[in-house]
Amino acid sequence: MNFALPAIAVILAVIPGVAFLVGYVSEQFPRKAFALSPVSELAVYLALAVPIDALAIGLGITFHVPLPDLSLVERVFVGEWSDSSLWMLHQDLSSCGFASLTYYVFVVIVSGFAGWGAQRYVWAHRLDVRWPILRMRHDWHNNLMGRLPNQPADLVPYADVLATHPSEGDRLYSGIVSRFEVNNDGSLRVLILEDAQRGKGRGVMFEWKPIKPSNGFAILGTTIISINFRYVALEDPPASVPSEQ
């Protein structure tokens, strides 16, 4: 039995789900950082593609978009066809091919934008913090940026970083976490601090020295020994008290 045609049909059916997930995790860390196996990733694609395809077919029927005969398509998926059914499918695709292709491309594009819109909504309402299944970034991001459960949204993340220096031994740095990058295995590649300071001295002689001038201080992940996180909540300014007349 020829499995090429069902395989192509499955791939075409899954692509809208792929487009949605790519749009949703457009700023996500590499797949290896989440230990997502190819099988589980395919399962996610299928779970997303089924409702998207069903909605697309329903809208296509509602708005009278020329679509292939669904009964013939179903036979292709299950691998049950004959020479006559293949000929009928060929004729059906020839009659509505361009319109169906245009509609399919439109569905894929809309799926990608829908995923991106879902990402913005989830991020704005911090739903990924409350429901881990919706997370779009690695846990590194939530820890470094202060996006944690049961914490206010307006947190300023600080990091105290102990790092090695080629010629001066270990150094202690502190600053506001601005951004960072990770490697394919999920390890920290570089950490960028704003308003960075360097620790100098020991014991009672210890003090913080500002690193200036600087628009961002980069610390390579390979030099980092440990990181201590601190989160400072931004408080609303007190309401002004009207003066008495």
Taken in order 206, 212, 218, 222, is the CA torsion positive or negative? negative
Cα(170)–Cα(162) distance, integer angstroms: 7
Give the domain range for residue 154: 139-232
CA 95 → CA 66, 90, 224, distances in Å? 9, 9, 63
Residues 94 and 163 in one domain: no
Structure tokens at 110: 């809309």
Cα dihedral 127, 131, 137, 139, rounded to 10, equals 120
Per-residue pLDDT of the chain (245 residues; tens, 9 = 90+): 455 667 777 888 899 999 998 888 776 555 555 555 677 778 888 899 999 999 999 998 898 888 777 776 666 666 666 666 666 666 666 777 788 889 999 999 999 999 999 988 988 888 888 887 787 666 777 778 788 777 777 788 999 999 998 777 889 999 999 888 877 776 788 999 999 999 988 888 889 899 887 778 999 999 999 999 888 887 654 444 444 43
Residues 58 and 32 in one domain: yes
The number of domains in the chain is 2
